[in-house]
Amino acid sequence: MSMMLQTLREMRDTTPFQPFDIHLASERSLPVVSTDHLFLMPGRSDFVLVLPDGGFRIVDVSQVESVHRNDRPTSNKGTDSSTGEGQA
């Protein structure tokens, strides 16, 4: 499983849940408003996100640039979200 999928799973499963945004390479931002809105499928690199208006998106994790909750970004670029520095 990719690190970003692991991060998405951890953020979704955190108790209590805190909404977060998924930022894509296309510069689009998708909100995750509850645990019921994000579906990660075993053995797949894509996931389903149900949008607040009832629509949905199927997103490949390779398109995820970062994930933000409470102004603490988690990047898909190999940086440490707490310091902003690159990981070795």
Does any domain span residue 77?
Answer: no
Q: What tokens were used for 17?
A: 């849940």
Q: What residues make up the domain containing 45? A: 3-71
Q: Is residue 56 part of a domain?
A: yes
Is 80 among the domain residues?
A: no
DSSP 8-state code for residue 55: -
Q: For the ranges 7-16, 53-62, 79-88, which has the lowest average pLDDT?
A: 79-88
The verdict on pTM exceeding 0.85 is no
Q: Is residue 42 part of a domain?
A: yes
Residue 84 scores a pLDDT above 80? no
Pairwise pLDDT comparison (73 vs 79), residue with the higher score? 73
Residue 77 tokens read as 């670029």
- Give me the number of domains the chain comprises: 1
CATH for 14: 2.30.30.100
User: Does the CA dihedral 15-42-84-67 come out positive or negative?
Assistant: negative
- The CA distance from 1 to 28, in Å, is 24
Task: For 16-70, write each residue's pLDDT tens digit.
Answer: 999 999 999 999 999 999 999 999 999 999 999 999 999 999 999 999 999 998 6
